[in-house]
C-alpha cells in the first residue's frame, strides 16, 4: 500500500538533538571540515576527472555539518548501516567516518594532506578563494595559511603571478579584511526591515514592476547571510544606477545585466536580480528555497522530462511550461505549494508530491497575544494604549504580563504592587470595548525552581507566564530540575522564551529539553514561541522536537515592550511555520472562551 511509503521518507529533523551540547556539535563540525578539505584537495587532481567524487564529499560534509544529532551517537547506536542511512553517505564515506570516530584520523585525508599541506578549511572561507587559486598560491609562494596570505598581499607578491592581476590582489585583500571582521550571519530582525526599506524605495522609483524579497529572508530564517531582492523591470540599466545610489548601499561589488551585488552599510551583502515578467515565478521559486530544497525540485523536474532554472520550467522542446507564477511551477511539477518558511528540505518536497503538506499556522489565525509589558515595569505604553493598538491589529484579547519583583532592573512588581496592578487591568477592561485584557505577569523562575510571587497573587491572574532571567549558567542537571520544579508547582501556565537564548548574543541555557518537554506535557504547561526578533524562542528546530509530545500546546507571543512591538507577531508565526506547527496546537489562535478553559488546566 502507498501508505507504507511513509516510513521510507527521510525526515532527520524530527529526531533532532539540538544545540544542547556544543561538544557533540564540535565533533560533527570537525568531520564536516575534514570531508570538505578532502573535496578541496581532490579538486586539484589534474590526472583524473574527479568532479563527481568532489561533489559527493561536499554533500556528505554538508549533511554532517548541518546535522544536530551527534554523529558519534548515530554510529554507536546503529553502526555503519546507520551512517549509510544519512543522505549522501554511502559505504566509502561511512567507512571514513568510522575511521575518524575510532582513531581520530581519516587515512585518505592524511594522504592528501601530505601532498597539500595547506589550511584549505580557513582559506576557502575567504571570498574569491577556491581550491585551485589556493593551490596555485601554495605552488608559487608556499602560502599555507591566512597569515602567509596576508603577508603576500601586503608585499604585493600576488599580482603578476600567472592568472592573478591587480584586481585579484585587491579582491583577496578585501576578502581577508571581511573574514577577519567576523562575518557573522545577521539576525533576521535587523536584516528584514533593511530589506523592506529598500523594497519600498525601489517600488516607489517608478522603474520596477515587481520587487520582492527572496532567499533566507523570505524563508524567515532566524539569521541571514545575505539578502536577495528580485525585480522585474523594462529598464534594468536605470535600476542598476538607482540601486548604486541608495543610501543603504556602501559599495557595488559586481554588476551585470541581470545581477547586481552590493555591500550594505549595515554589514551585509545584497543581491539584486532583474528578471522578465514571464520568469518572475520561476526566479522567485529558485531564489527562495534553500539549496537542498531546490536541488530536489529540479531533480523532480528532470525526472518528468523538464528542465527547471530561474527562467522557467521547460520541456524537451525547450518550450516554456511555467514560470510567470511561483505556484505554477510547483503545480506543473505535480507538487503542492508550501509556505516559503517550509522550504528547507525537511521532508516537505516528498509530502508535497503526495499532497500531504500540513496546514500550518498563519498570521490571520492569531486572535490574541499573551505576553507584553507596560509602563508598570519596563514597557513604554499604558495598559489602555497597548489594548487600543492591539485592537487596531484585530486582536480579540491580550494578556498584560509585567515583570515580578526579582527583575528589579526592569522595575519588577512585588506582591502588593502586582495586586494593585491587576486592579488597574480590571479598570482598563471596564473602559475598553471590543478587546478583552487578561491579567497575567511574567514571573521569574528563581534559582531553586520556586516562583517569584505568592500563590495567592498568582491565583488572582487569568494565567501566568514563567521564565528564567537570572542564573543562566547553571549545570544541565540543576537547570532541568529548576524548570521541572516550577512546572510541577501548579502555577505555571506558560513557559516563556524557554531556552533564553538571544540571537548572536547569548547561548541557550543548558537544559535537558526532552525531560522538560515531558514535564510540560505531564503538567499541562504551554510552551511559548517568543516572537521578539532577538529571541525567536523556541526556535524552529525545538518546535519540531516539542510538537512530537502530542499533548503539548504552544503560545505565539510578541513580548512587546511598546505598542508597535505588537506587530512582531509575524516573526513568531513564521518561526512556528518553520516548526510545521498547526493552528490546533496554538492556544492564542483560539477564541477567548476556549482559550480561558485551556489556560489553567
Partner DNA sequence: GCCGTTTTCGGCCCGACTGTTTTCAGTCG
- Of 168-176, 431-439, 488-496, 584-592, the segment contacting DNA by CB under 7 A is 168-176
**Residues 238-297 close enough to bind DNA by CB under 7 A:** 254-259, 269, 271, 291, 294-295
Q: Which of 90, 204, 209, 584 binds DNA (CB under 7 A)?
A: 90
Binding mask 34-73 for DNA (x = CB under 7 A): ---------x--------xx-xxx-xx-------------
- Give the interface size with DNA as a residue count (CB under 7 A): 61
Whole-number Å distance between alpha carbons of 309 and 323: 9
Q: Do the bridges between strand 526-530 and strand 494-495 make them parallel or antiparallel, or are there none, so unpaired? A: parallel
Element (H, E) at 23: helix 22-43
- Terminal CA-to-CA distance of the chain, rounded, Å? 41
Min separation Cβ 168 and DNA, Å: 4
* Backbone torsions φ then ψ of 208, nearest 5 degrees: -120, 155
Whichever of 141 and 474 has its CB closer to DNA, that residue is 141
Per-residue cell: 449: 525552581
Burial class (CB in 10 A: 0-12, 13-18, 19+), 163: exposed
Binding mask 94-113 for DNA (x = CB under 7 A): x-------------------
Per-residue cell: 439: 491579567
**134 is a site residue for DNA (CB under 7 A):** yes
Whether cis (ω within 30° of 0) applies to the bond prior to 392 is no
- What is the rounded radius of gyration, in angstroms, for the C-alpha atoms of the chain? 27
Binding mask 295-334 for DNA (x = CB under 7 A): x--xx--xx-x-xxxxx-----------------------
- Of 121-129, 382-390, 533-541, 551-559, the segment contacting DNA by CB under 7 A is 121-129
Min separation Cβ 582 and DNA, Å: 27
Whichever of 142 and 291 has its CB closer to DNA, that residue is 291
Whichever of 159 and 502 has its CB closer to DNA, that residue is 159
Min separation Cβ 74 and DNA, Å: 14
Residue by residue, DSSP assigns 167-196 as: HHHHHHHHHHHHHHT--PPEEHHHHHHHHH
Whichever of 313 and 418 has its CB closer to DNA, that residue is 313
**133 is a site residue for DNA (CB under 7 A):** yes
Please check whether residue 12 is in contact with residue 92, taking contact to mean a CB–CB distance below 8 angstroms: no
**156 is a site residue for DNA (CB under 7 A):** no
**33 is a site residue for DNA (CB under 7 A):** no
Q: Which of 34, 93, 199, 581 binds DNA (CB under 7 A)?
A: 93
Nearest to 85 by CA among 71, 66, 100: 71
**Residues 183-242 close enough to bind DNA by CB under 7 A:** 226, 228
Whichever of 102 and 162 has its CB closer to DNA, that residue is 162
Whichever of 98 and 210 has its CB closer to DNA, that residue is 98
- Sequence-ordered list of residues with C-beta below 8 angstroms from that of 147, at least 6 positions apart, any chain: none
Please check whether residue 24 is in contact with residue 70, taking contact to mean a CB–CB distance below 8 angstroms: yes
| Cα dist from 372 to 164, 301, 375, 579, whole Å | 57, 47, 11, 23
Would you tell me the crossing angle of helices 91-103 and 22-43 to the nearest 10 degrees?
A: 130
Read off the DSSP letter of residue 557: E
Contacts with DNA, residue ranges (CB under 7 A):
5, 43, 52-53, 55-57, 59-60, 84, 87-94, 124, 126-134, 159, 162-169, 171, 226, 228, 254-259, 269, 271, 291, 294-295, 298-299, 302-303, 305, 307-311
Amino acid at each position: 500500500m502507498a501508505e507504507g511509503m511513509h516510513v521510507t521518507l527521510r525526515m532527520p529533523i524530527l529526531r533532532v538533538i539540538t544545540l544542547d551540547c556544543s561538544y557533540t556539535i564540535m565533533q560533527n563540525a570537525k568531520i564536516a571540515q575534514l570531508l570538505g578539505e578532502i573535496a578541496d584537495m581532490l579538486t586539484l587532481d589534474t590526472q583524473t576527472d574527479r568532479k563527481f567524487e568532489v561533489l559527493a564529499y561536499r554533500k556528505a560534509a554538508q549533511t554532517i555539518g548541518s546535522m544536530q544529532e551527534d554523529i558519534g551517537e548515530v554510529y554507536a547506536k546503529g553502526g555503519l548501516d546507520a551512517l549509510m542511512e544519512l543522505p549522501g553517505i554511502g559505504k566509502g564515506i561511512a567507512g571514513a567516518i568510522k575511521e575518524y570516530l575510532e582513531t581520530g584520523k581519516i587515512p585518505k585525508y592524511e594522504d592528501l594532506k601530505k601532498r597539500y599541506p595547506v589550511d584549505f578549511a580557513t582559506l576557502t572561507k575567504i571570498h574569491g578563494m577556491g581550491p585551485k587559486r589556493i593551490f596555485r598560491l601554495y605552488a608559487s609562494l608556499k602560502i599555507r595559511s591566512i597569515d602567509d596570505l596576508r603577508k603576500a598581499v601586503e608585499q604585493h607578491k600576488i599580482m603578476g603571478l600567472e592568472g592573478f592581476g591587480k584586481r585579484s590582489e585587491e579582491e583577496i585583500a578585501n576578502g581577508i579584511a571581511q573574514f577577519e571582521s567576523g562575518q557573522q550571519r545577521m539576525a533576521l530582525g535587523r536584516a528584514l526591515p533593511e530589506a523592506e526599506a529598500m523594497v519600498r524605495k525601489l517600488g516607489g522609483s517608478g522603474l520596477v514592476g515587481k520587487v520582492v524579497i527572496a532567499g533566507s529572508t523570505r524563508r524567515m530564517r532566524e539569521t541571514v547571510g545575505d539578502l536577495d531582492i528580485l525585480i522585474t523591470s523594462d529598464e534594468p540599466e536605470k535600476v542598476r544606477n538607482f540601486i548604486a545610489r541608495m543610501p543603504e548601499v556602501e559599495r557595488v561589488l559586481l554588476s551585470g545585466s541581470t545581477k547586481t551585488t552590493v555591500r550594505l552599510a549595515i554589514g551585509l551583502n545584497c543581491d539584486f536580480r532583474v528578471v522578465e515578467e514571464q520568469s518572475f515565478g520561476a526566479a522567485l521559486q529558485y531564489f527562495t528555497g534553500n539549496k537542498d530544497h531546490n536541488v530536489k525540485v529540479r531533480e523532480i523536474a528532470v525526472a518528468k522530462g523538464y528542465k527547471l532554472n530561474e527562467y522557467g520550467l521547460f520541456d524537451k522542446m525547450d518550450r516554456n511550461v511555467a514560470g510567470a507564477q511561483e505556484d505554477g511551477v510547483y503545480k506543473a511539477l505535480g507538487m503542492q505549494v508550501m509556505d516559503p518558511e517550509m522550504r528547507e528540505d525537511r521532508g516537505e518536497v516528498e509530502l508535497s508530491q503526495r499532497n500531504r503538506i500540513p496546514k500550518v499556522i498563519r498570521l490571520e489565525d492569531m486572535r490574541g497575544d499573551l505576553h507584553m509589558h507596560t509602563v508598570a515595569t519596563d514597557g513604554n505604553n499604558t495598559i489602555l494604549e497597548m489594548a487600543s493598538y492591539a485592537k487596531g491589529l484585530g486582536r480579540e484579547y491580550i494578556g498584560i504580563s509585567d515583570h515580578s519583583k526579582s527583575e528589579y532592573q526592569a522595575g519588577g512588581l512585588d506582591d502588593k504592587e502586582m495586586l494593585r496592578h491587576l486592579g488597574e487591568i480590571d479598570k482598563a477592561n471596564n473602559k475598553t470595548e471590543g478587546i478583552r485584557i487578561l491579567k497575567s505577569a511574567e514571573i521569574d523562575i528563581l534559582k531553586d525552581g520556586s516562583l517569584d510571587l505568592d500563590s495567592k497573587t498568582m491565583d488572582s491572574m487569568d494565567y501566568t507566564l514563567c521564565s528564567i532571567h537570572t542564573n543562566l549558567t547553571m549545570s544541565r542537571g540543576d537547570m532541568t530540575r529548576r524548570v521541572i520544579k516550577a512546572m510541577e508547582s501548579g502555577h505555571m501556565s506558560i513557559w516563556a522564551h524557554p531556552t533564553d537564548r538571544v540571537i548572536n548574543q547569548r547561548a541557550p541555557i543548558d537544559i535537558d529539553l526532552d525531560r522538560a518537554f515531558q514535564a510540560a506535557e505531564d503538567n499541562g504547561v504551554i510552551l511559548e514561541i517568543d516572537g521578539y526578533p532577538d529571541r525567536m524562542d523556541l526556535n524552529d528546530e525545538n518546535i519540531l522536537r516539542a510538537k512530537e509530545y502530542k499533548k503539548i500546546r504552544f503560545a505565539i507571543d510578541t513580548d512587546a515592550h511598546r505598542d508597535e512591538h505588537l506587530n512582531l507577531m509575524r516573526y513568531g508565526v513564521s518561526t512556528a511555520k518553520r516548526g510545521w506547527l498547526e493552528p490546533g496546537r496554538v492556544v492564542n489562535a483560539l477564541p477567548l472562551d476556549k482559550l480561558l478553559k485551556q489556560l489553567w488546566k
